[in-house]
Amino acid sequence: MNAPTQPRFRAAGWRWRRSPLRRRSDVVEAWTGLLLGAAVVFVAPSVGALAGAFAYDTAHAQAERQRGVGHVVRATLMKSAPAADTVGSRPRHPVNVRWTDRGGTVHTAVARVAAGAEAGSRTDVWLDARGRVTTAPMPDDLQWSTAITVGAAATFVGWALIGGAWVTVRVVTHRRRMAEWERAWARAGPQWTGSRP
- Does pLDDT of 1 surpass 50? no
User: Residue 73 forms beta bridges with which residues?
Assistant: 125
pTM: 0.67
Which tens digit of pLDDT belongs to each residue from 102-155? 888 898 988 888 888 888 899 888 888 888 888 888 889 999 999 999 999 999
- 87 pLDDT band (50/70/90 cuts)? low
Helix axes 24-38, 140-193, angle to 10 degrees: 170
Q: How many CB atoms lie within 10 A of CB 66?
A: 16
**Pair 97, 73: CB distance under 8 Å:** no
Strand order in the sheet with 106-114: 106-114, 92-100, 71-77, 122-127, 133-134
